[in-house]
Amino acid sequence: MAKNVQMKDVDIYYGKFHAVQGVNLSVPPRAVTAFIGPSGCGKSTVLRTINRMHEVIPGARVEGRVELDGEDIYRPGVDPVEVRRAVGMVFQRPNPFPTMSIRDNVVAGLKLQRVNDKAQLNEVTERSLRAANLWNEVKDRLGKPGGSLSGGQQQRLCIARAIAVQPDVLLMDEPCSALDPISTLAIEDLIGKLKQDYTIVIVTHNMQQAARVSDRTGFFNLLAVDKPGRLVELDDTEKIFSNPTEKATEDYISGRFG
Amino acid sequence: MSSTPSGENLDRRTRRRGDAIFRMLAQGSGAALLVIMAAIAVFLVLQAVPALNADTTSFLTTLKWAPDGTPSSFGIAALAFGSVLTSLLALLISVPVAVGVALATSHYAPRWLARPLAYVVDLLAAVPSVVFGLWGLTYLVPNIIAPSTSLNHYLGFIPFFASNGTYGKSIFAASIVLAVMAIPIISAISREVFIQTPRDQVEAAWAIGATKWEMVRTAILPYGRSGIISGTVLGFGRAIGETIAVALVLSANYEISLHILEPGGNTIAANIATRYGEAGEIGRGALIASGLVLFIITLIVNFGARAIVGKNSRGGAS
């Protein structure tokens, strides 16, 4: 549980398009690491290499090493399906399975791992929904379809689904960008609570959010127009927002571009 | 005085012309469709009534078809049974294959293969049914005898596969021809719905560690269920309405038998095609009465499917 993530000289391509160049970074366990930067600079792409989700797009490939506690997840012979069971993900738009019940949504990942014991499934359902701060709102209607919840509740359901399998790392790709401020606050509180147990990496467009929820912040930017994206710097959140090393970071933080 | 400098005000303008024309077209087409449907039903009933009155036996339960005999005697029982049985068997064969083809072209085959494959499947839907009938007659019927014999040998204890020892121009052969005809329709419609599965549903499945097949099962199939059902209904329509292909393949008689491997059986549509030319006045009325039954069966199936789609469509495509 709660493994660290290391990237060593990671380059990401979509076919001939060089999307991200030369990323080296380290993500500590039991902490929140935020990726910020302007649109199209590759921060979501980098996030998706941590659970090999970018491979869903034909032609995508990665060079370099991405390690979970020292184990290279791109080593030949590694099954991307197993990687995704160890690295959970929450998306920009809440995406529960609309026709599945709330309970079945939570345990969907466990069922794929052939867990069929009813008592265990019920226990995981309750534990995950409690951990996602959703239990009290849905405990009386676990059989209702996941699509019947509000947007903010759906997103917390998706978080419950992701943590039900107790992943080593939890990835969040702009998890609040489709939510109202109250739901956003609920998710941010939840992130603060979850980091006690999980390694969390979050991509956000909202710099205040990065400042509020994260311990470490990485700033991504394009090398130049039509050039690949890169990691400009990654440091303690406090330092990035008060006294960044790079000029580009300071310009972005202070709103001079982006 | 009250007008703005540009000469306009905020009152509603007299109907915008484009809207009016479009509304007329849409409403007119809708109304015309209902009128045509009603006219067909009325025509069928009016033409059928004299023959039904002349029938000396019960139309619903009689097997034989001798409307022009003395006394006139005919019934829909054997024909309706044959129509429903061949169509259901055809769907039993074609739906799994068609869904497989649809998934292959939408999610499994590499792109360079998927496009031509989808194109060929669409093309199959446009092949005239007489071509399928000729294929059934000259290729399938001679070649189905050996497998039919083995089926009977090993599974003959199941009533469906029982036989008097003759094989060939059977319900089984007709159903296979109908299945081949239904596959392109079912798979084309299923594929169109499958490829519209929202990306975030697919990614949700991947992200919880689904294999490709598990992704298909958790994201694509639930979303595509309404498409599969719509395609199946259209396939059923093509199968139950087919005349010439069935007439060519089937050695017709007017009996109700579950022995699908034996020659025999008939369908409403094929019976109309083969008997209309030689029929007398009562005979034509009788055939039209059978057409009315076909019309009603199709309506029932359509409404049934609509009810299923309506009930399960939450979250899926409609």
SS3 A198: coil
Closest by Cα among B262, B105, B109, B277 to B194 = B105
Give me the DSSP letters along B41-66. HHHHHHHHHHHHHH-SS-TTT---EE
Angle, CA of B20, B21 and B27, to the nearest 5°: 85
Tokens of A76: 């030949």
Residues 6+ apart with CB under 8 A from A79: none
Question: pLDDT value at position B1?
Answer: 47
List chain B residues with CB under 8 Å of A53.
Answer: 203, 206-207
Say which of A51, A58, A97 has its CB closest to residue B201: A97
Dihedral of alpha carbons B20, B24, B26, B31, sign: positive
Q: Give the pLDDT band (50/70/90) at residue B252.
A: confident
ipTM of the complex in this document: 0.91
Q: Which helix (H) or strand (E) holds B151?
A: helix B141-155
Query: B315 pLDDT exceeds 60?
Result: no
Q: pLDDT tens digit string along A18-63?
A: 999 999 999 999 999 999 999 889 999 999 999 999 988 888 999 9
State how far the Cα of A208 lies from the Cα of A253, in Å rounded to an integer.
10
Is B316's Cβ below 8 Å from some Cβ in A? Answer: yes
The chain A residues in contact with chain B (CB within 8 A) are 51, 53, 56, 58, 81-82, 84-85, 88-89, 91, 93, 95-100, 108-109, 112-113, 145, 147, 158, 161-162, 165
Beta carbons of B209 and A112 less than 8 Å apart: yes
β-bridge mates for residue A26, sequence order: A6
**Residue B287 pLDDT class (50, 70, 90 cuts):** very high
Are B171 and B82 in contact, with CB atoms under 8 Å apart?
yes
**In this complex, do B207 and A91 lie within 8 Å of one another by their Cβ atoms?**
yes
pLDDT of residue A59: 87
Mean pLDDT confidence for B263-273: 92
Tokens for B240? Answer: 């139950």
What's the DSSP call for residue A177? Answer: T
Nearest CA in chain A to B213: A112
- DSSP letter at A55 equals G
Sheet holding A17-27, edge to edge: A71-72, A60-68, A5-14, A17-27, A229-236, A216-222, A32-36, A199-203, A169-173, A87-90
Residues A206-225 have a mean pLDDT of 92
Residues of chain A found within 8 Å of residue B211, distances taken between Cβ atoms: 81, 112
CA distances to A42, A225, B164 from B156, rounded to whole Å, are: 65, 74, 11
In the three-class reduction of DSSP (H, G, I as helix; E, B as strand; rest coil), residue B73 is classed as: strand
pLDDT in tens, A115-136: 889 999 999 999 999 999 999 9
Nearest CA in chain A to B315: A98
**Distance from the B278 Cα atom to the nearest Cα atom in chain A, whole angstroms:** 55
**How much is the pLDDT for B313?**
52
Q: Which of A56, A88, A109 is closest, CB to CB, to B203?
A: A56
Q: Does B201 touch chain A (CB under 8 A)?
A: yes
Cis peptide before B110 (omega within 30 of 0): no
